[in-house]
Amino acid sequence: MRSTLIGVGVIALALAVGFFFQMSWAVAWWPWPSSRLSHIFIASVLAAAAVPVIWIGWSREWAAMAAGALELSVTYLAMAVFSFHTYLQDDSRRPILLYAIACSVLGAVCVALFAWSRRIPFKDQRRLPAGVRVSFLVFILILVMAGGALVMREPGIFPWRLGPEQSMLFGWVFLGAAVYFGFSLVRPLWANGRGQLMGFLAYDLVLIGPFLRHFGTVDPALWINLVVYTTVLAYSALVASYYLFIHPATRVTLRVSPPR
């Protein structure tokens, strides 16, 4: 299990690098119309998923898999339904069918992982700090509002133009992330929230540079979107950095838990 999780995380990080630099072997996995910033966004999502997976494998905190598995179950299965629906409307788009099948398989695997891992007790029983709980609540509200608007295909949510298909898919990424943070409020243990902060920090680090550069080219009508999105990135990065590297009670170490 440990080797598998670390291996999966490393593969996801490699895909993140490929999407960030728009390498053909990576972007070929995404069969939807896209753009440079959308590829970078996908890279940030992959990095956000990879880092907690690697950490869980390294620390052997198997119970922490439940939150991520639930998030990915929601995201993958929703993407699968939308992709099958899109293919049925135009059966010439065969890559969409393959994408739908892949999402279905990944979603089923994540459902099975959630059913297995949610019964495992946490080794680390420290409570989730109050500041993290408040921040997670803020993140959930933002993700639900933005994700719901994207799923409804409302224009002008991202700081760049999205097509209707991208809007739907990215919306489910946000709604799945809201479930991820919500699970930590239901089971408010530090071992449960640590992965979310690690993933959010990776997400922030991938996006912050391109977003700052985007200020020079952003559509004036979307300038306020970029300001709000960048502010959220900065806030979440500060919260994650403080509790992961500074706060004495939650500072991350490389200590490995003994196998069970």
Average pLDDT over residues 192-206: 95
Cα–Cα distances in angstroms (integers) from residue 37 to residues 22, 34, 53, 121, 241, in the given order: 10, 8, 25, 40, 25
Question: Among candidates 143, 165, 149, 153, which has minimal Cα distance to 232?
Answer: 143
Closest by Cα among 67, 75, 107, 84 to 189: 67
Distance CA 88, CA 7 (A): 35
pLDDT at residue 113 is higher than 90: yes
Question: Which residue's entry shows tokens 């939650």?
Answer: 250
Give the relative orientation of helices 36-59 and 2-20 as an angle to the nearest 10 degrees: 160
Please check the confidence at residue 227 and state whether its pLDDT lies above 70: yes
Where are the chain's structural domains?
Answer: 2-246
CA–CA distance, 179 with 170 (Å, rounded to integer): 15
Note the pLDDT of residue 173.
Answer: 98
Average pLDDT over every residue of 103-132: 95
Take residue 67 and report the two structure tokens written for it.
């939150």
Token pair listed for 26: 């990576």
Please, what is the end-to-end C-alpha distance for the chain in angstroms?
12
How is residue 17 written in tokens?
A: 């690098």
* pLDDT tens per residue, range 141-195: 999 999 999 999 998 899 999 999 999 999 999 999 999 999 999 999 999 999 9
pLDDT of residue 41: 98
- Structure confidence by residue, pLDDT tens digits, 13-69: 999 999 999 999 999 999 999 999 999 999 999 999 999 999 999 999 999 999 999
50 and 202 in contact (C-beta within 8 Å)?
yes
CA distance 224 to 227: 5
Q: Mind giving me the DSSP string for 80-118? A: HHHHHHHHHH-TT-HHHHHHHHHHHHHHHHHHHHHHHHT
pLDDT at 253: 72
Angle separating helix axes 190-214 and 65-89, nearest 10 degrees: 50
**Which residue is listed with tokens 């912050």?**
208
